[in-house]
Amino acid sequence: MTAGEELSGEMMQESENPMNPMKMKLTNFRSSLRRVAVLAIGATALSALPAMAQDPSAPQDQASPRQGGPGRGNQVEFLTKKLNLTPDQVTQVKAIDEDTLKQSKALREDTSVAGPDKRAKMMDIRKASQDKIRALLTDDQKTKFDALQTQMRERRGNRGGGDDAPPPPPSTPQL
């Protein structure tokens, strides 16, 4: 290298030098600041998810008071569709359904009733509800209703439990 080239290299301004310690510190600071900002935004978003999931003001599905998988939806809608209920029948079935839900809830919350007795009482409540609904139906609707009840019993039977099946015996550990 010649003396002129060396001099021109020394004359380079400090800010233009890519290896300038001040510029490197500023770049590292900006990079760290970006990381902190991204982490803060991510943490805020993740902590907001549970709060949104528990928001009581969120709209609930009021049309279906029962929750669960297939076959555990709103009985009134199901029967209206399957049996072609009249508006008067719909009103009466809704009242029966609401009464059944209240009785079932009260029984579930009753701690004085033992498990097997509770199950028997729950089945009695359900049977009484079905009898009340059946009494509202026309002969044609009763035939369809009975067929639906038979189908449901068969499905429950295939899962290992039925209306008339006794509860399974308590399991004893094998030694």
- How many CA atoms lie within 13 Å of 78's alpha carbon, on the beta-carbon side? 15
- Does the pLDDT at position 47 exceed 50? yes
Q: How far apart are CA 138 and CA 144, in angstroms?
A: 10
Q: Over the stretch 4-23, which tens digit does the pLDDT of each residue have?
A: 555 455 555 555 555 676 77
Inside any domain, residue 101: yes
Which amino acid appears at position 109 of this protein? E
Q: How confident is the model at residue 40 (pLDDT cuts 50, 70, 90)?
A: confident
Inside any domain, residue 117: yes
Cβ burial, residue 96 (10 Å; 0-12/13-18/19+) = buried
Q: How many residues does the chain have?
A: 175
- Does the pLDDT at position 32 exceed 90? no
Q: Over the stretch 87-144, which tens digit does the pLDDT of each residue have?
A: 999 999 999 999 999 999 998 888 888 888 888 999 999 999 999 999 999 999 999 9
Tokens read off for 30: 């900006």
- Does the pLDDT at position 69 exceed 70? no
With a CB cutoff of 8 Å and minimum separation 6, the contacts of 92 are 136
Inside any domain, residue 45: no
Provide mean pLDDT across the span 41-54. Answer: 68
Inside any domain, residue 108: yes
CA-wise closest residue to 83 among 135, 46, 137:
137
HEC profile for 96-114?
HHHHHHHHHHHHHHCCCCC
Inside any domain, residue 87: yes
Q: How many domains does the chain have?
A: 1
pTM above the 0.95 mark?
Answer: no
HEC profile for 18-50?
CCCHHHHHHHHHHHHHHHHHHHHHHHHHHHHHH
At residue 36, the pLDDT reads 81
Kindly state the percentage of the chain with pLDDT values over 90.
24
Inside any domain, residue 120: yes
Cβ burial, residue 76 (10 Å; 0-12/13-18/19+) = buried
Residue position matching structure tokens 């209206």 = 80
- Does the pLDDT at position 48 exceed 80? no
The range of the structural domain enclosing residue 87 comes to 75-157
At residue 114, the pLDDT reads 83
Inside any domain, residue 30: no
Inside any domain, residue 32: no
